[in-house]
Amino acid sequence: MTSSNLDIWTAALERTRKASPASFEQWFSSIQFDKLEPGRLELTARDEFVRDWVKTHFLPSLVNTIDELRAQGAPAAPDLGEPTQVEWRISSELNNPVCDGKTLRPAVRPRRLQVSEPPPPSSRPDSPSRFEAPSPARIQPVRASLKDVLNPKYTFENFVVGPSNELAYAAAMSSAGDDGPRYNPLFICGGTGLGKTHLVHAIAQRLLDQKPNARVIYVSAERFTNEFIEALQHQKMDEFRNRYRRECDLLLLDDIQFLAGREQTQEEFFHTFNALHEADRPIVVTSDTYPQQLQRMPERLVSRFTSGLVADVQVPRLETRVAIVRKKAQLEGIPLTDEVAVLLAQNVQSNVRELEGALIRLAAKSSLTGRPIDYEFASRELAAVAPRRQEPVSVQDIQRAVCNHFRLTNAELLSKDRHKSVAFARQVAMYLCRQRLRCSYPELGRSFGNRDHTTVMSAVRRVEALRQKDPQVNAHLEAIEQELASSGE
């Protein structure tokens, strides 16, 4: 093996570790690196379980990095087009695992050379590891780990409430309240970047402010899984169960969808849930879908999730988005005019994380170039990032998007059919045309099969009202709006 192969392996491994510091050590102490050559990586795993986990969770990015580094190192070499294939061996005895205990070992030489090799440098006291030692994955004391994981900015005070999230917000406040939760469990669900994690961090921080000794656990489902597996591997199940079932006053489990198909962890969580529920301890779970839509989740868990309160967070409407931008700007000390706040909120519609990202980018660009964030600067920057979002759509575009969404033909949409689902789709299309294109009611009547303008007016009002109170209607509208945005791209 050439030294550049070793270097590539070492660098790729280090990047992988940085990406998942919490679970890296746990898995890579059961993996041995054997050989890397162009197009081929050889590894040994302690057993099939470890191999499969590493294959799914670490290999795609590890192999990508290897290929990337190789391409950078020798762009002219002819055989570099071949992506790296991984060959696995299984062996319960690993001579030289990738990391041991606290230390990530530097890359080792091929196994067949090891007989005459000195012990790996990391085990010699005078040879410090080339890597910063990762903290060992272990079950940490509740408060110590909590401090590390809670984002101090994710508080109730910093959360902007609007129609899209008011139920989730109120329910979260009640979970952290003095009288205990009104609903147990609380299941907060919704798309990515809409504030679920923010809310559960806020619950933890509020409770700890009020009761500093409360035993709060905030854990992602991924971490719960890793801790569970590690407890199994090291015969520490008693410790694990004590921590989650007995020494816990409030359990916040983030991103439950991660448990999909992980039957053993689901089983363990089921018993954890029951123990806490029976003891009247609040449980808050977040998910990217409604409980009934969770994939590969057993019915008994789904029915427990629905037994308390299911509160969703939706994409916030324009006014809420503007308020969020203002709040973030204030928190980050970014000077922002109202005009620019509205411009941002109009341009970034689908998720709050992206909205925040756009604001931070503007601020960074402004401080680099010394230009104030005025309207002109902001609109130019936003246009550069998302040039097509603003492209005009026509009545026909909207009708087409609505037909696609509801699986109707254009003729059906414009017909006199009063069947409920067709009529609803038609009303939605009228509403979107009015909202997006500002067409007059008589004009719209003509575009929709020569209908009377009063029919259009009442359709628009009906959808407007439904959107406020019915999350399903809102979801339909968001999906169509998204389709319109992406069809312009």
What single-letter amino acid sits at 368? L
Nearer CB in complex with Mg ion: 252/334: 252
- Read off the tokens for 452: 């009377």
Which of Mg ion, ligand ADP, none lies near 268, with the C-beta cut-off 5 to 8 A by kind? none
Least separation in angstroms between residue 251's CB and ligand ADP is 17
Q: Measured in whole angstroms, how far is the alpha carbon of residue 16 from the centre of its chain?
A: 19
Residue 100, beta-bridge partner list: 103
With beta carbons less than 8 A apart as the criterion, state whether 252 and 297 touch: no
Which of ligand ADP, Mg ion, none lies near 193, with the C-beta cut-off 5 to 8 A by kind? ligand ADP
**Pairs from 333-337 (Cβ < 8 Å, separation ≥ 24):** 334/359, 334/362, 334/363, 334/373, 335/372, 335/373, 336/373, 337/373, 337/374, 337/375
Binding residues among 445-474 for Mg ion as defined by CB under 5 A: none
Phi, psi of 313 (to 5 degrees): -115, 130
Q: Measured in whole angstroms, how far is the alpha carbon of residue 456 from the centre of its chain?
A: 40
The Cα 105–Cα 123 span in angstroms is 9
Binding residues among 333-352 for ligand ADP as defined by CB under 6 A: 352
Helical H runs in 348-470? 352-369, 375-385, 395-406, 410-414, 420-437, 441-447, 453-469
Q: Residues 120, 134, 185, 195: which binds ligand ADP (CB under 6 A)? A: 195
What element of type H or E holds 99?
Answer: strand 99-100
Nearer CB in complex with ligand ADP: 216/355: 355
- Read off the tokens for 115: 């007989």
The Cα 14–Cα 200 span in angstroms is 31
- Is 194 a binder of ligand ADP (CB under 6 A)? yes
- Is 285 a binder of ligand ADP (CB under 6 A)? no
Least separation in angstroms between residue 331's CB and ligand ADP is 9
Closest residue to ligand ADP, judged by C-beta, is 195
Closest residue to Mg ion, judged by C-beta, is 197
Binding residues among 150-169 for ligand ADP as defined by CB under 6 A: 154, 158-160, 165
Q: Residues 84, 197, 266, 447: which binds Mg ion (CB under 5 A)? A: 197
- Is 324 a binder of ligand ADP (CB under 6 A)? yes
- The count of residues interacting with Mg ion (CB under 5 A) is 2
| Region of 102-110, 120-128, 189-197, 199-207 interacting with Mg ion (CB under 5 A) | 189-197
3-state DSSP percent of the chain in helix, strand and coil, to 5: 55, 10, 35
Give how far Cα 283 sits from Cα of 140, 178, 196, 473, Å. 20, 15, 14, 29
Binding residues among 43-72 for ligand ADP as defined by CB under 6 A: none
Note if the bond before 185 is cis, omega within 30 degrees. Answer: yes
Cα angle 441, 444, 447; round to 5: 160
Least separation in angstroms between residue 173's CB and ligand ADP is 13
Nearer CB in complex with ligand ADP: 44/165: 165
Nearer CB in complex with Mg ion: 134/195: 195
- Is 205 a binder of ligand ADP (CB under 6 A)? no
- Is 198 a binder of ligand ADP (CB under 6 A)? yes
- Is 220 a binder of Mg ion (CB under 5 A)? no
CB-facing half-sphere around the CA of 101: CA atoms within 13 A:
3
Least separation in angstroms between residue 287's CB and ligand ADP is 10
| Region of 195-203, 289-297, 340-348, 350-358 interacting with Mg ion (CB under 5 A) | 195-203
Cα angle 444, 450, 452; round to 5: 70
| Region of 11-19, 137-145, 173-181, 188-196 interacting with ligand ADP (CB under 6 A) | 188-196
Least separation in angstroms between residue 260's CB and ligand ADP is 17
Binding residues among 380-419 for ligand ADP as defined by CB under 6 A: none
DSSP per-residue codes, 244-288: IIIS-SEEEEE-GGGGTT-HHHHHHHHHHHHHHHHTT--EEEEES
Q: Residues 134, 185, 193, 308: which binds ligand ADP (CB under 6 A)? A: 193
- The count of residues interacting with ligand ADP (CB under 6 A) is 17
- Is 315 a binder of ligand ADP (CB under 6 A)? no
Which of Mg ion, ligand ADP, none lies near 198, with the C-beta cut-off 5 to 8 A by kind? ligand ADP
Residues that bind Mg ion (CB under 5 A): 196-197
Residues that bind ligand ADP (CB under 6 A): 154, 158-160, 165, 192-198, 324, 327, 352-353, 356
